[in-house]
Amino acid sequence: MNEIERKINLSKTYKITMEEDNYPVGLKKIKNPPPVLYYRGSLPKPDKPTVAIVGARNASEYGLTTGRAIARELARQDIQVISGLALGCDTSAHIGALDVSKPNFAILGCGVDTCYPTYNQDIYSRILDCGGGIISEQPDGTPAYASNFPMRNRIISALADAVIIIEARLKSGSLITANYAIEQGKDVFALPGKITDTLSQGTNDLIRQGAFILSSIYDVLDYYNVSFGKKMEPIKLDKEKLSYEEKLIYNAMEELGKDSHHIDEIVQKTSINPSRCMIVLTSLQINGYVESNTPSYYRIADPPYYA
């Protein structure tokens, strides 16, 4: 298959019904399986372990960094990663697997012909390019109705052997996924956090109810009996892959120095309007180039690590 044929193939939407042999076994076992599943790219391989990683959309730096690192190492160990392509923790999980060019899978609440959120179009394309898949129970043309997303969470948990909750408020979509996982008999891992952090209240409550504590990548690797003996090395970030605006902001931040700088300083330095600057900074943050430990303040990030 040449490159043109491959691209055409990735842009096709396929469907599979419960009566077909390659319909995911995990979905057949739940109370209300989708009668039809639509996908682009591929479906998770049934003979490989699979972990779902989900969390808050407005995630903290702690959540973004941890989710990405865990997804990266799981993917490197040939464990399939599933998430929901939402902003925040979901995006970090997909990027972690993409860091090492491993297949991962996004479950949408709209048709697979639509990237939602549109901000993640690049990640949507990279998931397909690396052999992963975009999956939904909604046919092509279905918009991203809010009511579709709680139901799609049952698919995320059903396709996984275990579910990791990175960050969650006490009432959140991530906890819906956790509850589906518990109902389906799946193991749930939760990342603990400070009792004063709103984004950790949901995960701390899951731990109180009996979820496994996610204290390190070892907890998940031990679950799969995977050894972990490789040296941690920094990922080499390639500035040449950045867009013009990303390079402009990143170079400006390098000139401003290693300390944290308010977004107003960055706007003044680059002459990019504030709303656009925020979007670009978020992209740089998700991809590991900058970090923000205080609202509206950004600094050049230390390189992320993989084993």
**Rounded to 5, what percent of the chain is helix, strand, coil?**
40, 15, 40
Whether residue 307 has pLDDT greater than 70? no
pLDDT, tens only, 91-104: 999 999 998 999 99
Question: Which CATH class for the 234-306 domain?
Answer: mainly alpha
CATH dotted code for 3-223: 3.40.50.450
Position 236 scores a pLDDT of 64
pLDDT, tens only, 140-185: 999 999 999 999 999 999 999 999 999 999 988 899 999 999 999 9
Mean pLDDT of 279-302: 79
Position 234 scores a pLDDT of 55
pTM of the model: 0.78
In whole angstroms, give the CA distance from residue 50 to residue 60. 25
Whether residue 109 has pLDDT greater than 60? yes
> Where residue 203 falls among pLDDT bands split at 50, 70, 90?
very high
Mean pLDDT of all residues in the chain? 89
For residue 59, CA distances in Å to 71, 90, 182, 200, 249 come to 16, 10, 23, 10, 22
Burial class (CB in 10 A: 0-12, 13-18, 19+), 129: middle
For residue 269, CA distances in Å to 18, 39, 247, 277 come to 57, 44, 13, 11
Q: Cβ of 69: how many Cβ atoms within 10 Å?
A: 21
Domain with CATH 3.40.50.450 in the chain: 3-223
pLDDT, tens only, 232-279: 455 567 778 888 999 999 999 999 988 889 999 999 999 999 989 988
- The residue that leads in pLDDT, 141 or 4, is 141
Position 12 scores a pLDDT of 93
Residue with tokens 């697997």: 97
Q: For the chain, what is the total number of helices (H) and then of strands (E)?
A: 12, 14
Domain with CATH 1.10.10.10 in the chain: 234-306
Position 290 scores a pLDDT of 85
Mean pLDDT of 221-230: 64
Position 10 scores a pLDDT of 76
Percent of the chain surpassing pLDDT 70? 91
